[in-house]
Amino acid sequence: MHDDASPRHESILKIYFRAFDKGLGHILPPVLIARPKLSLRHYILDRLVAFARAEYQRLFEQVDELGEAFYLMDGVHRGFAAALCHSEIRALELEDDRDLVDLERMVQEGSYFNLPAYHTELPGLPAAETRLSAAVTDLEMFHLREVLTLRKAVDALVEQCSLPAYMVRRYAASRAG
């Protein structure tokens, strides 16, 4: 997870929550995930001053300690809604550039909403680097501020009273039952 993993648009979260609460989450497109190992961390670390480099190194170590972790590349609201309803989260793992091509086709066909807004080209990267690696690197470079699992992020929003009361009640009821 990354620090952008909080619902910015409450109305969208409400729509997705309703779908998952009614057992219809399966009709929504999957969230997009990618493995942190795709990141070009050297690209980030080479461009930072010492104090920032140490902070990023600490974040990278936290990510690595999670083991089989994934970054949520797209679908924050769907992920939160599914987690609040304790529903299965359908995910599409992006493994290489062919998956980005497939995703572009899915958007054109209407089976996926839109492409994630991460840069797939970064200044100074050799031509041999992949578009997906650039996108994961962009996520780490500009959006990684705290390492959270989806469950921990939802728990934090509940504790901060940042969600509508009916969502909190549903989340608590599902955890208790």
- pTM given for the model: 0.85
Q: Say whether pLDDT at 25 is over 90.
A: yes
Q: pLDDT tier at 8 (50, 70, 90 boundaries)?
A: low
pLDDT at 140: 86
* Cβ-Cβ contacts under 8 Å for 67 (sequence gap 6 or more): none
Say if residues 32 and 104 touch (Cβ distance below 8 Å): no
The least confident of 43-52, 70-79, 105-114, 161-170 is 43-52
Q: Is 40 buried (19+), middle (13-18) or exposed (0-12) by CB count in 10 A?
A: buried
Residues 85, 134: Cα–Cα separation, whole Å? 33
